[in-house]
Structure 1
């Protein structure tokens, strides 16, 4: 699956949005990728995550990890489907008092090889926080993954990052907004409360 195939899934699902968006990172962008709109279709989730699992296996071997862990909320469906494709369990982290933690009886066996799975990576903040949580619970993050890497390879998570699609889209701090975005009210479609 190539970049255009991935973007076609997003376009056909109405998930590639244009306007003025306040991203989970706190940055502003003229483009938002609403992965939930793609992943609500099981056949699309299956196709995207199979391609991602195949790429991970090609580089890391047939049994590359023991567990997949995702940050809630955006990574939950991707993590579950990747785990299904890789034949391992899936768990997710949740924010409690602003910090990722494991809940719901989830644990990570000491030394477990873990794949961190996200839908979209922009700055890598949530991904790094999830990786920190994995480490704090005794796991070893061997790689990270996402469907779309909005940094197009620029983000450093401290582990290899597997993505199906690099898609460099401008993102701005509020004090750096270009005039065309200043004219449009920002919409916050993400899941993290930035207030």
Structure 2
């Protein structure tokens, strides 16, 4: 499967959105990848994530952990294809935690599963929780990598996608005033 195929799947599922979006970082963008629209189709999720599995299948992985919400289905599907246990972290009072009786065995080699990596905030929060519990995070696996920043670990993605991101005060879409600002993500602002 090629980048064109992944883009076509994203478009066919209405997962690659065009407009004016408020990101969880507080920044604005002209495009948004809503992976939940792909993940609602198990066959398409399996197809897209098989690209990621090819990239990570030879890594020494004990456990797949996805931050809720976006990483839950991704971690499950990666775990299914890799034959590994898949769990998730979630926020309680806006703080990332491992809950529901899930455990990290000291020394476990972990890949974090995300739908989209933009700023890496959820990934870094999850990494901190897992390392505090004795896990060793070896990277992040995702459908779409939007970041151009070094997030401190390797990123294994089905597709790298360049989407313009603007500081709110310098957003040309705001200045034009033609397209309403929409907040599509689930994270609450502090």
* Shorter-chain TM-score range: over 0.9
CA distance in 1, matches of 2:2, 2:128: 30
Of 44-53 and 108-117, more deviation after overlay is shown by 44-53
Aligned residue pairs, count: 189
Per the alignment, residue 3 of structure 1 pairs with 3
1:155 CA displacement: 2.6
Per the alignment, residue 33 of structure 1 pairs with 33
* Aligned residues: CA RMSD: 1.4
Match of 1:104 among 96, 100, 103: 100
Per the alignment, residue 85 of structure 2 pairs with 89
- Check the 8 A contact 1:20/1:181 in 2, yes or no: no
Question: Kindly tell me: are residues 68 and 181 of structure 1, through their superposed partners in 2, closer, same or farther at Cα, counting changes over 3 Å?
Answer: farther
- Check the 8 A contact 1:142/1:160 in 2, yes or no: yes
The unaligned stretches of length 5 or more in structure 1 are none
Q: Deviations over 1:136-193 (max 9, x none)?
A: 1111001111111112xx2322221111111111111111111466512211111111
TM-score (norm 1): 0.92
TM-score (norm 2): 0.94
CA distance in 2, matches of 1:156, 1:81: 26
Per the alignment, residue 21 of structure 2 pairs with 21
Q: Deviations over 1:46-81 (max 9, x none)?
A: 1111221111125x2xxx201001110011111110
Q: Deviations over 1:6-51 (max 9, x none)?
A: 1111100011111111112221111111100001000001111122
Match of 1:173 among 167, 170, 174: 167
Question: Kindly tell me: are residues 104 and 170 of structure 1, through their superposed partners in 2, closer, same or farther at Cα, counting changes over 3 Å?
Answer: same
Per the alignment, residue 182 of structure 2 pairs with 187
1:2 CA displacement: 2.2
Per the alignment, residue 145 of structure 2 pairs with 149
- Check the 8 A contact 2:20/2:173 in 1, yes or no: no
Question: Kindly tell me: are residues 27 and 85 of structure 1, through their superposed partners in 2, closer, same or farther at Cα, counting changes over 3 Å?
Answer: same
Question: Kindly tell me: are residues 142 and 29 of structure 1, through their superposed partners in 2, closer, same or farther at Cα, counting changes over 3 Å?
Answer: same
CA distance in 2, matches of 1:9, 1:97: 35
Paired residues for 1:63-82 under 5 Å: 64-82=60-78
CA distance in 1, matches of 2:144, 2:46: 15
CA distance in 1, matches of 2:29, 2:173: 12
